[in-house]
Amino acid sequence: MKAKFWSISGDSFKIKDMSTSKDGNVLFEVAGKAYSFTNKRTLVDSKTQEPVFVMTEAAMQFDDKQTVYSGDGKTELFKVASNFGNTKQSTSGLKNNQGKKIILEGKMNLLSKKGHICLGDVNTGRPIGKVCSPVQIQNLIPDWSAGGSGWARHDYFIEIAPGVDMALIIAMVLAYEQMEQSYDDEMN
C-alpha cells in the first residue's frame, strides 16, 4: 500500500498485490478528499472502476470513528473506532455473510509500520491481517530488497490471511490511518 499521508492533492493512492512482481498489480485505488467536510475516502476496484466502499469521518465529532458504507455510499456497513491514543482499534455493527455480528480488533502502529488485525479479541482472537514495513518484508520474501525499490517512508505492506475479505482488512487499515492522522492534527 503506497499512501501519501499528508497529501494536499487529497490522499489518493493505489493498493497493489506485491505477490506477483516487484512492481505489483494494482487492485484498488483510494480516492480521497482530505479537506472535505466529511473526510471522505472511496475504495475503487481498479478493473471495474466501481466503488467497493466509501469511508467517512463526520466533522466535529467527539470520538474519532470512521464509518464504512456500501460502494454507493447509502448503506452503513460498520464503524471503526479506537481507544484514546489510537493504540487499539475495533469494529462495531459488522456482520458476516450469514448476518451474524462479528468484531475485528486491531493493534496497529504506522509510525513503526507494524501491527495486526484479529477476528475477535486482539489478544485471543484469530489473526487475519498483518501490517509491516518494506524493511520488515525483506525478511519474508527471498531475494527482495527494500533498498532502491522505490518504496517511501510512508509505504507499508498488508498481509491478509487466506479466505479473508481483502476490502475488509483494507478498510480497517485505512480507518486506522485516518484516525492516526486526526490525532496528529490535534497534537500540532
Look up the CATH number of the domain holding residue 19: 2.40.160.200
* % the chain with pLDDT above 70: 70
167 falls within a domain: yes
* 99 has pLDDT over 70: yes
What's the whole-number mean pLDDT along residues 153-157? 66
- Binned at pLDDT 50, 70 and 90, residue 1 comes out as very low
* 21 has pLDDT over 80: no
How far is 127 from 61, CA to CA, in rounded Å?
31
181 falls within a domain: yes
- Binned at pLDDT 50, 70 and 90, residue 109 comes out as confident
Q: How many domains does the chain have?
A: 1
* 139 has pLDDT over 70: no
6 falls within a domain: no
Higher confidence at residue 22 or residue 89?
A: 89
Instruction: Determine the pLDDT at residue 120.
Output: 96
Tell me the β-bridge partners of 31.
42
What DSSP designation does 95 have?
A: B
Instruction: Determine the pLDDT at residue 170.
Output: 93
Higher confidence at residue 184 or residue 76?
A: 76
Average pLDDT, the chain: 79
Instruction: Determine the pLDDT at residue 7.
Output: 32
What's the whole-number mean pLDDT along residues 4-11? 40
**Cβ-contact 178, 41 below 8 angstroms:** yes
Instruction: Determine the pLDDT at residue 177.
Output: 82
Instruction: Determine the pLDDT at residue 106.
Output: 93
Instruction: Determine the pLDDT at residue 34.
Output: 54
**Cα–Cα separations (whole angstroms), residue 170 to 16, 144, 157:** 11, 23, 11
4 falls within a domain: no
Q: What are the φ/ψ torsions at residue 185 (nearest 5 degrees)?
A: -65, -40
**Cβ-contact 107, 128 below 8 angstroms:** no
Instruction: Determine the pLDDT at residue 156.
Output: 74
92 falls within a domain: yes
5 falls within a domain: no
Instruction: Determine the pLDDT at residue 151.
Output: 47
Q: Which residues span the domain enclosing 28?
A: 13-187
